[in-house]
Structures are given as C-alpha cells and as structure tokens.
Amino acid sequence: MNIQIPLTVPKSKAAEYTNNIKKATHGTGKLMLFAGDQKVEHMNDDLVGASLPAEVADPEHYFKIASGADIGIFATHLGTIARYGGDYKNVPYLVKLNGKTNLIPKENHDPLSRQWVDVADVVRFKKDSGLNIYAVGYTIYLGSEFESIMLHQAAQIVVDAHQHGLFVVLWIYPRGKAVSNEKDIHTIAGCAGIGMSLGADFVKVIYPYGDDIKQSAENFREVTTAAGRTGVLCVGGSKQDSEKYLEHVREQMNTAGARGIAVGRNIYQQSLNDAIDLANKLTAIVEGRE
Ligand code: FBP
C-alpha cells in the first residue's frame, strides 16, 4: 500500500503518521471505523428499546465489540476512552474531539458542535495511557449559520494532528435551516470536497441508501470523485437487515469508490456475538479480504 503523506506532516513524524494509517487499515489503506459516539449524538435513543438486548444499554458493550472483533478503529469521546480504555488496551482508538446532542431540533436552532478537547490533550493522554490512539475526529455541519466556527476548528485540528503524526477523520453533514435535502448527492459531494480542502485523511459523509443497491453506489461516484485524495467513508445509518447492509457495503467499496465505512448502530444494536460476527464480515469486505 502506498500512503500519500500530506505536506502538513513534518518529516520527523512521517513514519509515525504512515504507521498509524497502516495499523488502522491493516495495511490496506481502507478503513473500517466502528462508531461509538452516539451516546452523545443520540443520547440514550439507540441504546434501549423493546427490540434491543439489555446488554446494548451498557457502554462497555461498545468496548467488548471493539476488542473482540477485527475492526479498523473505534471512534468515541475522550471521557469514554478514559473510563474503559484501561481494560481494553488492544483496541485501536480514534478520539472524537467534538459532539452535540439531538435535543435541540434543527428547526429551532442551526447545529453547532464545538470542540471539547484539543489535539494536545489527546497527545498527552496517548503518552500517559499508552493506548493505541491513531487518529482524531471532528464533525462539521455545513449549511449551519455556525459553519465558519466548525470549519475553523476543523482546519486547526488537521494541522495540529498532522504535526503529531495522527491522522484525521472529518464527519461532514449538510444540516441546518438552509439545507432542504441532506441526502442530495450533489450537496454530499460538496461536503466531500470540503473534507479534502481541509486536508482530512478521511471524510465521513451521508450515504443515501436506495432500494436499488447498485444504482445507489453508481450515484455515489460523484462524491468519491469530489474527495480526490481524501478517502470517503460511508455512514452506516439506522439498523437494517444485515445481509442487505453487507451488499450495500460491497457496492460502496467496489462500485462507488469509497475508502471505507463508519458504522455504529448496524453493529452494536444486537447481542455481542452477532455484533462481532457482523463487524468481522464488514472489515473483510472493506479490506478486500472477502
Ligand atoms: P446523525 O447526526 O445523522 O444521526 O449521525 C451521527 C452518527 O450517528 C454518529 O454519531 C456516528 O458516528 C455516525 O453517525 C455513524 O453511526 P451509525 O452507523 O449508527 O449511523
């Protein structure tokens, strides 16, 4: 695998940067990101319910999956990692630097998700804890009246992270009163292009899941083209039939030109064994080992 090193990575950190990407992608450049930031984003909505096993409500469920399955990287907030990471030292981590809840409806207020901790805090935590922290992540809501704040913070984060040899995933969603259709492919392609313009290594965007699996992937090519050298990760979205989801991911990787996935609910909204089984299958598809 040939990893392109952006010029924001100093020569002294090039080996560390390359190594972090290699480890998270198992040498393939393709990233299976297991998302565990929903405790903030969706509060307890995804974690309890008549159809869900009781174990899903325990935050440790995330860690049991992340340590038992062959994932690429586990993305969650620093506090969560600080509470459980000591017992899950084999997990590869991405620290999510911002977050917001879903309590304020977007019809009332445009979304703003401010940075909680700095890259410097993560670098210090990595050294002190000895955990495998390879990357940081941050969400931007484009089209929000506050987008300039989030764009500014994201740009700084990319520069800071690269200075320390960490790679960066930006979650970029079109959202706010000015956005009429979050699933418009042309707008999503614009989000991917912004990810590239900010220098992100990967940009995670919305994937419009249509009934025609092949056609959905063909439509998505506009997005992966717009991202250029930045890899596009497709969102998992709400839980769907596992076989159907696996087929979508095959097309995302083989037809749409995605460089990976960022998936939460489809994996963790089930028992530990089923979650591990699906996560392993997903990683195999993403990394081209199926
Ligand atoms: P929304 O704001 O559209 O709900 O998406 C946020 C999010 O759920 C993140 O919290 C998570 O990282 C990502 O999407 C992927 O998770 P899922 O596969 O469950 O959609």
32, 102, 235: residue to mutate for ligand 1 pocket, most atoms within 8 A of CB = 235
CA-CA distance, 154 to 1, in Å (whole number)? 27
Do the domain assignments include residue 1? no
The residue whose C-alpha atom lies closest to atom 8 belonging to ligand 1 is 38
What is the reported pLDDT for 107? 84
Cβ(231) – ligand 1 distance below 6 Å: no
Instruction: List the pLDDT tens digit at each of the 290 positions of the chain.
Output: 789 999 999 999 999 999 999 999 999 999 999 999 999 999 988 899 989 999 999 999 999 999 999 999 999 999 999 999 999 999 999 999 999 999 988 888 999 999 999 999 999 999 999 999 999 999 999 999 999 999 999 999 999 999 999 999 999 999 999 999 999 999 999 999 999 999 999 999 999 999 999 999 999 999 999 999 999 999 999 999 999 999 999 999 999 999 999 999 999 999 999 999 999 999 999 999 98
What is the reported pLDDT for 106? 83
Yes or no: say if 132 and 175 are a contact pair by the CB < 8 Å rule. no
Cβ(41) – ligand 1 distance below 6 Å: yes
Do the domain assignments include residue 59? yes
Catalytic position from the list 204, 209, 268, 281? 204
Cβ(71) – ligand 1 distance below 6 Å: no
Q: Which atom of ligand 1 is nearest to the CA of 266?
A: 18
The residue whose C-alpha atom lies closest to atom 7 belonging to ligand 1 is 38
What is the reported pLDDT for 50? 87
Amino acid identity of residue 225, one-letter, is T
Structural domain for 170, as ranges: 11-286
pLDDT of 165-223, one tens digit each? 999 999 999 999 999 999 999 999 999 999 999 999 999 999 999 999 999 999 999 99
Do the domain assignments include residue 6? no
Catalytic position from the list 173, 207, 245, 268? 173
Cβ(35) – ligand 1 distance below 6 Å: yes
**Active-site residue, 204 included:** yes
CATH number at residue 121: 3.20.20.70
Yes or no: say if 275 and 56 are a contact pair by the CB < 8 Å rule. no
Tally of domains in the chain: 1
**Active-site residue, 173 included:** yes
Yes or no: say if 55 and 27 are a contact pair by the CB < 8 Å rule. no
Cβ(172) – ligand 1 distance below 6 Å: no
The residue whose C-alpha atom lies closest to atom 9 belonging to ligand 1 is 38
What is the reported pLDDT for 131? 98
Do the domain assignments include residue 3? no
What is the reported pLDDT for 94? 98
Q: Is the pTM of this model over 0.95?
A: yes
What is the reported pLDDT for 89? 98
Do the domain assignments include residue 131? yes
